[in-house]
Amino acid sequence: MTVSGQCSPEFDELRTLFEQNLTSGEELGASMVIDIDGEIAVDLWGGYIDSERTRPWEPDTITNVWSSTKTVTSLAVLMLVDRGLLDVHAPVAKYWPEFAANGKEHIELRHLLSHTSGVSGWEPPFGLDDLYDWESASARLAAQTPWWEPGTASGYHAQNFGQLLGEVVRRVTGKTLAQFIAEEIAGPLNADFQLGARETDWPRIADVIAPPPLPFDLTTLPEDNLLRRTLGSPLLEAEAANTAPWRRADLGAYNGHANARSLARIMSVIPRGGTVDGITLLSPATIDLIFQEQSNGPDKVLGVPLRFGIGYGLPNQLGVPYIPDERICFWGGWGGSMVVMDVDRRMTITYAMNKMGTGLVGSARSEAYLRTIYGLING
């Protein structure tokens, strides 16, 4: 299997692993980038965009990157914090008054950004058609009661992260989240990233290939189980990402369309101190906010130990042992995509693929790539 792109010699072992995964079929098609202070040390792609293996993964191939989308959504919100339009310690209701209903008046913006708000999903019944209706989906969340005491623990806001934060963005800017990202982030940086995807771009999208099914049936869990409540409303099948309604929607939790190159272009703003090629999106003070720990312990939804700052995951050796315990923030997507922002090394690592592995945040493949990268860096 031919791997295209460039790779600095010090990362030859990573290129070999990538090539092996493509050759063995562990990968179908994928891309990977390592940006070190604006210098591209790795920019690799290969494989196919279709399961029939008839169409090669090209430099401009994009795919649905699932929850790696959340890294860009958080960036959008932090940009508004940086501009003084939002305050992470202010109640969400300051910007979205209806959200104060049913005991949510004291939930702060930082609680949404750190998955600690207690509002980790929609009350059922709630289906895909409901997900695509922005006004109704926001109103439903505004009316809900928190499922646990806000601020006391994280519970991964897997599906509604973009709805909650996107509504705040809309209230203070008058722009949809998709519009804000297009005009204020992707456009200025010339980054090939969209929430959803324009129909003219559909031919270059690599459809996602669903992962193996979960080892249990969500619907058999008790109705008050937080994993069931969060992931079961709507009960999402991966193939939904290949449909027209999904691509036309504004889902800041998980319908970003990108590749490793565009994710790195955008998210390198954090390791590079807030500025990319003369375009400043964040100040160092706002970047410091990211590393203010908001929770550290078993996540109420995923059940694994996680540590959250403001907007991003932070290293936790029990839950994510392959992320070094350093000044790093990160997040990944269902099936494997990954964004790692290593501030001390001014390094950004990104990975996007179409064949999904097991795992809601990353996969065994992304773990192997990251272990290889840090093994090479640390000697």
Active site residue ranges: 67
Q: Under 8 Å CB-to-CB from 135, ≥6 apart: which residues?
A: none
Q: Judge contact between 323 and 330, C-beta under 8 A.
A: yes
- The b/e string for 65-96 (b: 16+ C-beta within 10 A; e otherwise) is bbbbbbbbbbbbbbbbbbeeebebeebbbbbb
Q: Under 8 Å CB-to-CB from 179, ≥6 apart: which residues?
A: none
Closest C-alpha to 323, from 8, 73, 312: 312
Torsion sign over Cα 333, 200, 52, 27: negative
Helical packing angle, 69-82 and 260-267, nearest 10°: 20
3-class DSSP assignment, residue 324: coil
Length of the chain, please? 379
3-class DSSP assignment, residue 186: helix
Helix (H) or strand (E) holding 368: helix 364-378
In whole angstroms, give the CA distance from residue 181 to residue 100.
26
Token readout for 47 is 């494989």
Give CA separation, 94 vs 85, 157, 289, 305, in Å: 11, 21, 20, 31
Cα torsion through 239, 69, 353, 269, rounded to 10: 170
Q: What is the DSSP secondary-structure string of 1-68?
A: --EEEEE-GGGHHHHHHHHHHHHHTS-SEEEEEEEETTEEEEEEEEEBSSTTS-SBPPTT-EEE-GGG
What is the number of helices (H) and of strands (E) in the chain?
Answer: 13, 15
CA angle 330, 332, 350 (to 5 degrees): 75
Q: Judge contact between 131 and 159, C-beta under 8 A.
A: yes
